[in-house]
Every structure is written in structure tokens, then in C-alpha cells.
Amino acid sequence: MINLINKDNLEQVIAFNQNYLSRIKSNIDFLKSSADPLIASKPLEFIKTHLNENAHVIEFPIKNFDYGGLVFYHNKSFYIQINSAQPKIYENFMWAHEFYHFYFDKEKIKNKEENFILIDTIFDEKERLPNLFASEFLINDFILERKFNSFKKEYNSNLEDIVINLIPVFELPYKAIVIKLAQNKLIQIDDAREIIDYDYKNNIPNHIDQTLFAASYKIKLDNYKNLLKKASENMNDDDYQSIINKYNNVYNLLLDWRKELGGGSNNDGYRKS
């Protein structure tokens, strides 16, 4: 969804964010009240750890540039699917985006009638709120301002270069950082509009880690293989076959989505991003 933001709708996006910022900050404060040390020190690791502990996490490459991931509910279990065919900076953002759906939209996702949706606008609240959460949760305001001022001196106030050099600081997409800078009033709206569509991908300096812009193509089907191994040792034939069937069902669902994503149809409750 970030890729759909451009100079023509940027001001609208920032205005939307400002209207919902207090709500998102309240959600983040609620998360911080758990006193989990990972939230302050490594927010992305907190997200990955929480999802791995409380849902079935699936990492699977799907070569559809409009698709980042989804949360779905199947056979009384939650599944988080992350598209590992996208660059790392987008994948990181998507982890936080899907975490928001899982944590704050959980009951809606269980309800297939409400959850069976096709998002076709960046101004749909169901998708803008997770994007706003991802930026607010993963981009520390103090670090952003300090690094911005430091890079401002180093790069003679060239905003495109400043943003590009902020990418490895947060390991997040270029446009997410531009929006956050404007939202925090570190740059003017007009400046943000001028640089938002900059072709940064073809202007990345050598000192920046190039793997941030590459895909891992990782395939991870949670802990099913371990379950199968334990099942073969400790379960009777009926239980073992039940787990085999569940594994096959989930894997086949993924194969179907990989072929059909873009058509927008599915039979289980899910939220596609």
C-alpha cells in the first residue's frame, strides 16, 4: 500500500494520519504497558516473537508486487502469512502491519462476513491504521530527529540523500520515512511532496547495505515439521494422520493463494494487505 502513495495524495495521507494519530499512540501505550523489554529495545523483534508465540507464522514467496501479507483464521487458529518475495524493508513494515490486524482486529478477522474484503484505496481505514501503526511503532521519534539533524549537516540538506541514509537506520521503506518526517514536522509538506516519488532505488550509495532492498524468498511453515516428527513417535495413527491432513491443507491453501492472489477470492476469513 505504501507504493500507492505519491505527490498527488501525500497531503491527504498525512492529514488522515494526524486524525488517527492519538488513537494509534494510545494503542502503542497499551502495548508498552505490558512492560515487555523487547518493545523498547527491539520493537520489530517484539512483533515477530509475539506472533510466533501466539499464531502460526508462515513465510512464503508470492511474486505479486501488490501483496505484502495477510492474517487469516482457519480451523480455530490464526495464521500470519508474510510474503518473502518482497524486499526486506517492505517485509519489515509488513510484519508490523499484520501484527496490528492480528492484535487489534482479532475479533473482526474471526468473522468471515466482516473480514472478507478487497482493499482498493489507500484511504480505507482498515489499511491506513495498520500502516500508521507500523510507522509509529518502528520509527522512534527521538532517533529520527537526531539522525535527521546529523545527516542534514553531512549531506548539505539534500533531502533525498538524507532519507536514503535513514533507511538503514530503521530498515523501513523510503516513503514511510518521508511521511513520518513530514508528519513530525521535520520537513515541510511541500518538501515531502517534492521528494516522495524520487527514484531512490537507482540512487542507493555503496555504503548502504544492499540486502535491505533484496528479497529472502524464505519458506517457513511454522513448526509443522517438528510436530510431524513428534507425532510419528508419540501419537496413534489417527492423530498422526490428523496432523498430516492439517499440514497438507494449509500448504495447499498457500499454493492456491500463490497462484490466484490478485483475483481477490478465498473461502476463509482473512485480511489481505
Binned average pLDDT, 10 residues per bin, the chain of 273 residues: 83 95 97 93 97 90 81 84 93 96 90 48 77 97 97 92 98 98 97 98 96 92 57 58 62 60 36 48
Residue 264, phi-psi category: left (phi > 0), alpha (psi -120 to 50), beta (remainder): left
What are the φ and ψ backbone dihedral angles of 162, each rounded to 5 degrees?
Answer: -60, -45
Instruction: Measure the CA–CA gap between 136 and 215, rounded to whole angstroms.
Output: 24
pLDDT for residue 79: 86
Q: Which three cell numbers stand for residue 141?
A: 521519534
pLDDT for residue 268: 34
pLDDT for residue 242: 61
pLDDT for residue 243: 54
Instruction: Measure the CA–CA gap between 24 and 134, rounded to whole angstroms.
Output: 10
Instruction: Measure the CA–CA gap between 85 and 91, rounded to whole angstroms.
Output: 9
Kindly write down the DSSP assignment for every residue of 135-181, as one continuous string. Answer: HHHHS-HHHHHHHHHHHHHHTTT-HHHHHHHHHHHHT--HHHHHHHH
Instruction: Measure the CA–CA gap between 51 and 262, rounded to whole angstroms.
Output: 25
Q: Which helix (H) or strand (E) holds 248?
A: helix 237-260
Q: Which helix (H) or strand (E) holds 72?
A: strand 69-74
Site of grid cell 495477510: 70
Residue in 77, 74, 79, 72 with CA at minimum distance from that of residue 57: 79
Instruction: Measure the CA–CA gap between 187 and 4, rounded to whole angstroms.
Output: 21
Instruction: Measure the CA–CA gap between 115 and 72, rounded to whole angstroms.
Output: 9
Q: Which three cell numbers stand for residue 164?
A: 536514503
